[in-house]
Each structure stands twice: as C-alpha cells, then as structure tokens.
Amino acid sequence: MVTQLQSPDKSNIIYPDDNGEPMSDNTEQFRLIVWIKENSELLFANDPNVFVAGDLLWYPVEGNNKLCQAPDVMVVFGRPKGYRGSYQQWNEDNIPPQVVFEIWSPGNRPAAMIQKFKFYERYGVEEYYLYDPQTLELTGWQRVEEELEAIEQIDGWISPRLGVRFGLSETGLEMFGPSGEPFVSFVELAQLRQQAEARAQEAEERATEAHTLLEQERSRSQALESRLREMGIDPNQL
C-alpha cells in the first residue's frame, strides 16, 4: 500500500518579516540607502500605485518561506503604497519589484552577491543597480528577455522605469530626477525649504514696506490737497 504525502497548508506557513541581517554595515551605506529610497519615494509621491521600500523581505513564491531577498531599495510599479511586513508577491498581483538597488559594504561577500544577482534575474527584476561607495563604482543591469545584461555606459544612463539619470563624479554617485533636479538628503531638503521660506518672507516684507510707503504718500497728498482747498485753491487747477 502506498501512503500519499499531503502538501502542507500554504495558509499556515509563516513568512518572517526579519531575516536577522542588519540593514547596513556602516553609516555611509545607511546614508545611501535612505538617500535613494526617500528620493525615489518623493519622485512618485503623487502616484498611489508606485510602492517604494528599503530593506524589505521579498518572497516571490507562495509556500516557500526560505526563498527570499531583502533589496536595499526596491521600487514596484502597479502596487499601492502602504504598510507591509514583507513583500509577498502572490498577494501583490504577482508583480515583482521592477527596480532594485544594492549598496556594497565590507560585509558583503562575492558569493552572496552572485546569489542575489541570480535571484533578481530569475524572479523578474527589470533593472538592478549595484553601487560600491568605497571604489565609487556603479554597475547596472537591464532585463533583456529572460536575462539581466550589463549596461555598458552607466554614467549618464537614464533608467527606463524611474526616469532617473545616473552620474559619477569624484565625490561619488549622483542621481537626477526626470526634470533634472538632483537627489538631495533630508538636511539639504530642509535647508532648501528654509531658504525658500526666507525668500518668500523677504518678498512679503518688501511688498508690505512698499504698500506702507504708498499709503504714506497718499496720506501726504490728501493732506496737501485739503490744505490747498482751505486756502481757496483748487488743486485740479494747478
């Protein structure tokens, strides 16, 4: 007699929200992750169907809670914004992240990075970008049919999905939005806002001062007109 093994109930499988790995190994890696994630989110702030996340576990196959990766940054077009403990693809209309970023750190091992590449290639990533802040090198791959092929000229490359232009300078990675605006940090953004508010306040103060001077001049003109009339002189005849 043959005993048939029953498949485990997929609904009872737990998909952990944490893989035990740190988000970053150092302050520079963390800064870059936050910089790319927040600027990408700002770029699509008005589109409710673009989901951006940092260090979120992505499970591509239902029933397999061992098969997962946590891209430093991932962007998913066609899925709504909102809270997720993990990205379970079968609950997301089976849409994989189209764009992923990884920031190389001293803790990364080549074997693990190769495994990540194969994972992204197999499960549908369209654009994959890997940046090394120590060597200031950016490598990118774009999906061509079933494979991720290297982007030959990455400096000046414009992401087909994001519309973001990549640049490399002596200080490191640069990224620019579709209108040419550079990606900035929270501190830089706050400073730009403060400068804009200061300019607006200064313009308002100048307008108020000009209005006050105009009122003063009008009052003097009216006083002079009244004085002339008291003297029996018609100002309109002058």
Task: Give the Å distances, CA to CA, from 60 to 64, 87, 90, 191.
Answer: 8, 8, 7, 40
- Residue 138: which of 146, 147, 129 has the closest Cα? 129
Question: Half-sphere exposure of 210 toward its Cβ, with a 13 Å CA cutoff?
Answer: 6
For every residue of 103-144, which 3-state class applies, written as one string? ECCCCCCHHHHHHHHHHHHHCCCCEEEEEECCCCEEEEEEEE
147 sits in which H/E element = strand 147-150
pTM of the complete model: 0.77
Neighbours of 167 (CB within 10 A): 15
Task: Give the Å distances, CA to CA, from 16 to 22, 39, 82, 119.
Answer: 15, 27, 18, 18
And the tokens for 189? Answer: 């953004």
Under 8 Å CB-to-CB from 45, ≥6 apart: which residues? none
pLDDT at 20: 80
pLDDT tens per residue, the chain (238 residues)?
444 444 556 778 999 998 888 777 899 999 999 999 999 999 999 999 999 999 999 999 999 999 999 999 999 999 999 999 999 999 999 999 999 999 998 878 889 999 999 999 999 999 999 999 999 999 999 999 999 999 999 999 999 999 999 999 999 999 999 999 999 987 776 665 666 566 666 666 676 777 777 777 777 777 777 876 777 777 677 6
pLDDT at 10: 73
The DSSP letter of residue 146 is: T
Question: How many whole angstroms separate alpha carbon 25 and alpha carbon 191?
Answer: 28
Q: What angle do CA 89, 92, 98 make, to 5 degrees?
A: 70
pLDDT at 192: 56
Question: How many whole angstroms separate alpha carbon 170 and alpha carbon 173?
Answer: 9
Amino acid identity, position 80: P
Q: What residues form DSSP beta bridges with 143?
A: 148
Under 8 Å CB-to-CB from 199, ≥6 apart: which residues? none
